[in-house]
Amino acid sequence: MSTDILATFTDKTPDNLVGLARVAEQAERYDDMCKFMRELVKQKNDLTVEERNLLSVAYKNVVGARRASWRTLNVDDQTDAAIVDKYKKVVEKELDEICGEVLDLLKTILIEAVNGKGDESEVFYQKMAADYYRYLSEFKEDDSGKPSDEGQNATKHYENAYNIAKSSLAETHPTRLGLALNFSVCYYEILKQPEEACKLAKEAFDAAIQKLDSLTDESYKDSTLIMQLLRDNLTLWTSETAEQAVEEVED
């Protein structure tokens, strides 16, 4: 039975919506959390860092569950293939709707509100838009071998974010490092450009290593964790590229 969670609470002031979102997060009711944060964005487009992070957490968990389901259903050699294919289309429809919802908030409200500021908030929202276009492109591949419209939109927003980040954020800033990580994944998995993926990941990792002594205690844990992920991806991608190169030579 579906409940209109917003109708349950009469006080929909921004402060109360943030409180409701926090409680929904604690209860792991991420669909409700999305509703609270969507209402908040419609009321105030200038979000605080905490509100921005709550928005990200809400949609990331809702979409993440569907992406995990889709990957499970998308493996080869499934029994009951016809049923699996039909179920996969249900999940894809849900992904399409949820990603479309958050992209609408970003493009019509949040990105517009920070356009031209050239600060972390603009990087954050451009990166977030790129991420959700990337999630869409995972199941909307173009049969021609070229990037889908979603893949091209993801690339555009990643490039916008990265250009701003390089001029406004330190090399060790978690937002800049997280952007480099996700952009490199887009190059590798969506655009099928492993050399560009490795180049971007290495550039971000090397630049951060050189500035490691400038890290503050506040961001040390987040920054070093993302740097480790960059290095792990580099190790994986370079070994796969090397193996592929050997196979091509031997053939």
pLDDT at 98 over 50: yes
Q: Domain boundary at 114, 137, 159, which?
A: 114
Tell how far CA 31 is from the center of its chain. Answer: 17
Q: Are residues 123 and 205 in the same domain?
A: yes
Q: Are residues 32 and 123 in the same domain?
A: no
Q: Are residues 72 and 137 in the same domain?
A: no
Q: Are residues 98 and 135 in the same domain?
A: no
Evaluate whether 181 touches 230 at the Cβ level (below 8 Å). yes
Q: Are residues 90 and 149 in the same domain?
A: no
Domain, as residue range, for 136:
117-251
Query: For the segment 105-125, what is each residue's pLDDT rounded down to a tens digit?
Result: 999 999 999 999 999 999 999
User: Average pLDDT in the 215-236 region?
Assistant: 91
Decide which of 245 and 46 is more confident: 46
Q: Are residues 131 and 217 in the same domain?
A: yes
Number of domains in the chain: 2
Q: Domain boundary at 114, 132, 160, which?
A: 114
Q: Are residues 125 and 109 in the same domain?
A: no
What is d(CA 200, CA 209) in angstroms, rounded to the nearest whole number? 14
Residue 217 is predicted with a pLDDT of 76
pLDDT at 248 over 60: no
Q: Are residues 220 and 126 in the same domain?
A: yes
Q: Which residue is it, tokens 């957490």?
A: 57
CATH code assigned at 71:
1.20.190.20
**From 56-60, 78-82, 105-109, 162-166, the region with the lowest mean pLDDT:** 78-82
Tell how far CA 124 is from the center of its chain. Answer: 10
What is d(CA 187, CA 193) in angstroms, rounded to the nearest whole number? 5
Helices (H), 10-80: 14-26, 30-43, 49-73
Residue 142 is predicted with a pLDDT of 65
Length of the chain: 251
Q: Are residues 3 and 43 in the same domain?
A: yes
